[in-house]
Amino acid sequence: MSDLLSVQRISAAYGKVVAIRDVSLSLREGEVVAILGANGAGKTTLLNAISGVVPITDGDIRYGGASIRNRKPWALCRSGIVHVPEGREIFPALSVEANLKIVDARGGGPEFGLDDIFQMFPRLLERREQHAGSLSGGEQQMLAIGRGLMTCPRVILFDEPSLGLSPFFVKFVLGAIGGLKRKGIASLLVEQNMRAALRIADRAYVMRTGQVVRSGTAAEIGAAPDIQEAYLGA
Ligand SMILES: Nc1ncnc2c1ncn2[C@@H]1O[C@H](COP(=O)(O)OP(=O)(O)OP(=O)(O)O)[C@@H](O)[C@H]1O
Ligand SMILES: [Mg+2]
């Protein structure tokens, strides 16, 4: 199958600090691809570059065969690329339901309605009237994912969805992300939790100091004995 998203030798910098350099990756329809790497490796910058939050200085990003280089985040969201950021960025003063309804559902991917989200995350149904700011960390993560899905994406960029969650929630949230494959949605999954990510990923890229240093199938990366120590600082 041809690539839905193709990142071709991109670089991005904050002023003089080059945060990612010469990074290439591909993502096919319905694939879960993990991006692994220690703190500061450039994972968030890579997602920000793809979603148009940070401009790229070199290279190209192609989506459905056309260049999306330096397109704006809202335009990308309308064409089906949604970013579920690290800080989750829900609206704390709005209810769970309002947070889900506020999005622009024009991504062109499989459609999700409120009922679909509540079926996926029953906890959100129980809390639909509650202010989002009063949800637990795990519940806020579910809400952020639910909101991302309401845009009807074809590609979702997840930044450390397991961060700060208990083992139960890690399993639940990553299980839900893995389930999106069946709808044909493609996910780029940034994680430091290598084992948990590789359980649902098809392939993985390992980053270090702004560059991709390893890539392969989830089985290959999982079986490489040195990866955890060399690149993930464990
Ligand atoms: N807004 C910024 N201004 C200047 N430098 C930045 C900025 N954001 C990130 N950087 C730098 O870019 C590099 C990559 O950071 P990035 O946040 O992409 O890493 P990361 O892999 O997501 O790390 P973490 O696992 O800690 O989230 C780091 O050296 C970081 O200090
Ligand atoms: Mg990060």
Q: Which domain holds residue 132?
A: 28-50+80-231
Token code pair at residue 9: 């030798």
Residue 214 in any domain: the answer is yes
Kindly report the protein residue whose alpha carbon is nearest to atom 22 of ligand 1: 44
Please give the chain's pLDDT, 234 residues, in tens. Answer: 679 999 999 999 999 999 999 999 999 999 999 999 999 999 999 999 999 999 999 999 999 999 999 899 999 999 999 999 876 788 999 999 999 998 888 888 889 999 999 999 999 999 999 999 999 888 998 999 999 999 999 999 999 998 888 888 888 889 999 999 999 999 999 998 888 999 999 999 999 999 999 999 999 999 987 887 777 775
Q: Which of 10, 14, 188 to mutate to test the pocket of ligand 1 (most atoms within 8 A of CB)?
A: 14
pLDDT score for 71: 92
Q: Is residue 160 part of a domain?
A: yes
Q: Is residue 67 situated within a structural domain?
A: no
In a domain, 137, yes or no: yes
The verdict on the CB of residue 149 being under 6 Å from ligand 1 is no
> By three-state DSSP, how is residue 23 classified?
strand
44 lines ligand 1 (CB under 6 A): yes
CA 133 from chain centre, in angstroms, equals: 22
Is residue 217 assigned to a domain?
A: yes
Contacts of the segment 174-182: beta carbons below 8 A, 24+ positions apart: 174/199, 174/200, 175/200, 176/120, 176/121, 176/142, 176/145, 177/32, 177/145, 178/32, 179/120, 180/32, 180/149, 180/156, 181/30, 181/31, 181/32, 182/30
**Domain assignment present for 221:** yes
Question: Which ligand is in closest contact with the Cα of 193?
Answer: 1
Indicate which CATH number applies to the domain containing 100: 3.40.50.300
Is residue 215 within 8 Å of residue 205, measured between CB atoms?
yes
Question: Residue 37: left (phi > 0), alpha (psi -120 to 50), or beta?
Answer: left
Is 192 part of any domain? yes
Q: Are 69 and 61 in contact (CB under 8 A)?
A: yes
Neighbours of 122 (CB within 10 A): 10
Q: Is residue 227 part of a domain?
A: yes
Burial of residue 215 (CB within 10 Å: 0-12, 13-18, 19+) is: middle
Counting the structural domains of the chain, the total is: 1
Type of residue found at 68? I
Nearest residue (CA) to ligand 1, atom 6: 14
Residue 129 contacts residue 95 (beta carbons within 8 Å): yes
